[in-house]
Amino acid sequence: MPMFHKFRRLVWRSWFYFRAGYGTYIALLIGYTSNLVVLYKLGVVGNHYLEGIFYSLTVFAVFGVLVSVPAAILLGLFHMKRTGAYSAEVSLSTESNPYVYKLIPGKEREVFLPLMVLTAKGLAKVMREQNALSPQEKEEFDSILAKADNLLKGQMIGHPRQRSRSLDSEDRRSWRLGVDEKRSTAS
């Protein structure tokens, strides 16, 4: 790799680490501390009711930490479990990640998918010899293998930035019926 590319890579990595470190740690500590100081100065100093309870910034800070940290943890838990905000954040992150729609270079492209394709082709060969594959299943199987071949060629599959259609109850019911029919005919 030429020296310029190494330097450019180092600059971009440093920029990423700077943003992560500053945004996650430094800005949080500075913002939290400045909020405590401002709240103490505006809300406690000069207020004869609260000055008796919070006689110093240290006492106010300890009280603030004891109240705000558990409250922030509960709000974070609520954010993750009970609101649509987190699922929207994850959905947007997934849509913007190109490796959701194509193979990750390395072991996934070189080993895992080729091994899965070979295994599937071997299984299909056995099923064809035993006439256990219906024309519809063969067509579906060939379609999936074509997508796997496209992935191996470095192409994308799926539709980035479009919401994928999940199985609705009717699809699930028909799929279960198909599985149950195969089980009953196999017995």
Per DSSP, 41 falls in state I
Phi and psi angles of residue 95, each rounded to the nearest 5 degrees, phi first: -65, -30
Among 30, 8, 10, smallest CA distance to 21 is for: 30
- CA–CA separation, 34 vs 41, rounded Å? 10
Asked whether the beta carbons of 145 and 117 are under 8 A apart, the reply is yes
Q: What per-residue confidence (pLDDT) applies to 131?
A: 85
Give the pLDDT confidence score for residue 165 in this predicted structure.
45
Which residue type, as a one-letter code, is found at position 135?
P
**Sequential pLDDT tens for the chain (187 residues):** 688 889 999 999 999 999 999 999 999 999 999 999 999 999 999 999 999 999 999 999 999 999 999 999 999 999 888 888 888 888 888 777 777 777 888 888 889 888 998 998 898 888 888 888 888 988 888 888 888 888 888 888 876 555 444 434 444 444 444 444 444 444 4
State the Cα–Cα distance between residues 57 and 37, nearest whole angstrom: 7
Record the tokens describing residue 44, joined without a space: 């406690």
At 139, list the tokens: 């067509």
Asked whether the beta carbons of 140 and 101 are under 8 A apart, the reply is no
Alpha carbon distance 149, 179 (integer Å) = 27
Residue type, 29: L
Rounded distance between C-alpha atoms, residue 158 and residue 156, angstroms: 7
